[in-house]
């Protein structure tokens, strides 16, 4: 159904629980339910942009905001110095499962490159 909420909207609306580490007027950051690193956070805009390739000029400020918040969260959560990786999975080959734009913030272990 076109009007069905994404899982991240349900978290935003407190219909399902999440371990939220940051919230402001434009985004929400919470722990991934299936962590791929000791720290695995999802940074999600409150308005639904399905994926990066669906974003347009009107999303410019929001996209910049998400990147700046990722650094703010890194400072608050204590992995600014050790480092972290920001991942956006876009479309089938990118591994996108939830059609609601989100940044993965992965930290707490040395991540390999190239990714699998």
Q: Does 9 help bind ligand AMP (rule: CB under 6 A)? A: no
Contact call for residues 92 and 32 (beta carbons, < 8 A): no
Residue 40 known to be catalytic: no
If one asks whether residue 97 binds ligand AMP (CB under 6 A), the answer comes out as yes
Answer yes or no: are the C-beta atoms of 28 and 12 closer than 8 Å: yes
Q: In this complex, which beta carbon is closest to ligand AMP, that of residue 34 or of residue 112? A: 34
Q: How far is it, in rounded angstroms, from Cα 87 to Cα 105?
A: 7
Q: Give the interface segment with ligand AMP, choosing from 61-69, 72-80, 89-97, 106-114 (CB under 6 A).
A: 89-97
93 lies in the binding site for ligand AMP (CB under 6 A): no
Q: Which residues contact 25 (CB under 8 A, 6 or more apart)?
A: 46
Q: Which of 22, 40, 100, 102 is catalytic?
A: 102
**In the range 21-80, which residues lie near ligand AMP by CB under 6 A?**
32-34, 42
DSSP calls for 14-43: TSS---EEEE-SSEEEEE-SS-SSSEEEEE
Element (H, E) at 21: strand 20-23
Scanning 21-29, 52-60, 64-72, 90-98 for contacts with ligand AMP by CB under 6 A, the matching segment is 90-98
Residues that bind ligand AMP (CB under 6 A): 7, 16, 18, 32-34, 42, 89, 95-98
């Amino acid at each position: 159904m076109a009007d069905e909420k994404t899982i991240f909207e349900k978290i935003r609306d407190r219909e399902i629980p999440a371990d939220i580490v940051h919230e402001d007027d434009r985004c929400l950051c919470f722990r991934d339910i299936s962590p791929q690193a000791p720290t695995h956070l999802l940074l999600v805009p409150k308005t639904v942009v399905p994926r990066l390739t669906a974003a347009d000029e009107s999303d410019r400020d929001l996209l910049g905001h998400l990147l700046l918040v990722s650094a703010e969260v890194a400072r608050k959560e204590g992995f600014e110095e050790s480092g972290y990786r920001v991942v956006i999975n876009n479309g089938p080959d990118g591994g996108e499962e939830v059609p609601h734009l989100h940044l993965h913030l992965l930290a707490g272990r040395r991540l390999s490159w190239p990714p699998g």
